[in-house]
């Protein structure tokens, strides 16, 4: 893994909320185990807690408030223009709660990752923990995937699986999944930064070979990156 600052992959992180996955990414960078340079953290919500996390780490923060734009397309154009000023090789969605327009997604094809709290293709969209509990499932988790025009439908690189316990409620299950996300996401971002994972014409490649199904881990399998 690269360790010199000038060999780190330039990235921009998009957030909407408290930024716990952002914190996991920043912690991995600080430990020297994730070879990326976070050039900016951008939020569509002015009061997102993750902005303070980034600022305390000396990372440039910006707000592009979606409420100030008359259409989804206008917001995405403004967001794209701002992102591109930082010349990122990768855009990281870390709790960014916006449905992105097809033009925006195409612009970053093959260089935009997301973390979703379910074992995709099961339970795309919102309220995944409640839906898993309602369905009586015994397994849940999170998926790190490339972003395509289909919401939560891009090729999945890797997943972390956690058990659903008999006494779980939404909060306890969400906490267990989130702890797994914090280990999985920096690992997958690191693979991208190292050139180990890529997407070509919606086909995943891992170590130069097609990846036909997601790599699956338990939290115990995953290193603290």
Catalytic residues: 116
Distance between CA atoms of 152 and 156, rounded to whole angstroms? Answer: 9
Stated length of the chain: 225
Cα–Cα dist 97/7, whole Å: 31
Q: Is residue 28 a contact partner of residue 184, using CB atoms and an 8 Å limit?
A: no
| R_g of the chain, CA atoms, integer Å | 17
Residue 207 contacts residue 196 (beta carbons within 8 Å): yes
DSSP 3-state of 59:
coil
DSSP 98-121: -PPPHHHHHHTTTSEEEEESS-TT
Strand-pairing partners, residue 42, are: 14, 62
CB atoms within 10 A of CB 97: 14
């Amino acid at each position: 893994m690269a360790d010199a600052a000038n060999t780190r992959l330039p990235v921009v992180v998009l957030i909407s909320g408290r930024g716990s996955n952002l914190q996991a990414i920043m912690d991995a960078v600080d430990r020297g185990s994730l070879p990326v340079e976070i050039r900016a953290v951008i939020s569509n919500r002015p009061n997102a807690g993750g902005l303070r996390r980034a600022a305390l780490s000396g990372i440039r923060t910006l707000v592009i408030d979606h409420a100030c734009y008359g259409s989804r397309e206008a917001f995405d154009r403004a967001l794209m223009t701002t992102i591109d000023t930082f010349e990122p090789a990768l855009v990281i969605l870390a709790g960014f709660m916006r449905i992105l327009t097809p033009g925006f997604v195409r612009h970053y094809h093959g260089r935009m990752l997301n973390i979703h709290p379910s074992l995709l293709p099961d339970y795309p969209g919102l309220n995944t923990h409640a839906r898993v509990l309602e369905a009586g499932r015994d397994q849940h988790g999170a998926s790190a995937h490339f972003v395509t025009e289909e919401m939560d439908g891009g090729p999945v690189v890797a997943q972390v699986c956690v058990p659903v316990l008999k006494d779980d409620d939404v909060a306890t299950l969400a906490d267990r999944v989130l702890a797994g996300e914090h280990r999985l996401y920096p690992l997958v971002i690191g693979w991208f930064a190292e050139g180990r994972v890529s997407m070509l014409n919606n086909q995943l490649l891992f170590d130069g070979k097609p990846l036909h199904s997601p790599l699956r881990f338990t939290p115990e399998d995953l290193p603290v990156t």
